[in-house]
Amino acid sequence: MPVVVVVVSLMVGGGLLAREVYRTPDVQQDAILALPSSTARPPGQQPGPGTVELTPDAAAHPLHEDVRRLLQRYFDSINNRDYDAWRTTVTKARIQAKSRPAWLHDYRSTKDGSPLVYRIDAASDEDLRVLLGFTSVQDPLDAPDALPGSSCVHWKLTLPVTLESGNWRIDNVAGYTTPEATKC
């Protein structure tokens, strides 16, 4: 009988330990969760809402809320044509690469929406890679070189996010990634 009690106790303890080890991380309730949509919005509803959303996979990352807030400020600054606000979301190198006149010209007719963070990966303690999709509408004359004349573009890309002076900032997109752009 004592052997049975010991064996049952070990089994229960092992089960509780396994439950903790294999438990999925808790998702914060303040995270805005979404799944990729398989239905396209009608042209009149593009680019969609401006609120940054996260897939459950992205929301499971411990820095998801920092990334979501950063991207929200980033997209808001573009949609509001606010270069000074944009500067607070990007690295010094990116600011140096894009002057105020060039930025205002590049985003003069841009409206971004439906931003969805698919995944957040740590490249190091101070660098993240954020897989992101969003929709951009613009004057066809301001369309990206890859899709001339397009007034609506779906983008998917990996954004490098780095810790700079104690704050997370969006860095220049390096040559390791090529943004995917498709016409709406």
Tell me the pLDDT tens digit for each residue of 140-150: 999 998 899 99
* pLDDT higher than 50, residue 64: yes
| Confidence label for 40 from pLDDT (cuts 50, 70 and 90) | low
Instruction: Tell me the three state secondary structure of residue 37.
Output: coil
Q: Residue 29: what pLDDT?
A: 46
* pLDDT higher than 70, residue 176: no
Judge contact between 55 and 118, C-beta under 8 A: yes
Judge contact between 55 and 21, C-beta under 8 A: no
Judge contact between 152 and 180, C-beta under 8 A: no
- Write the CA distances from 167 to 120, 127, 143, 174, integer angstroms: 17, 11, 32, 20
| Confidence label for 39 from pLDDT (cuts 50, 70 and 90) | low
Distance CA(128)–CA(4), nearest Å, equals: 50
What domains can you pick out in the chain, each with its CATH number? 29-183 (3.10.450.50)
Please tell me what DSSP assigns to residue 27.
Answer: P
| Confidence label for 25 from pLDDT (cuts 50, 70 and 90) | very low
| Summary mean pLDDT of the chain | 84
Identify which has the larger pLDDT, 25 or 92: 92
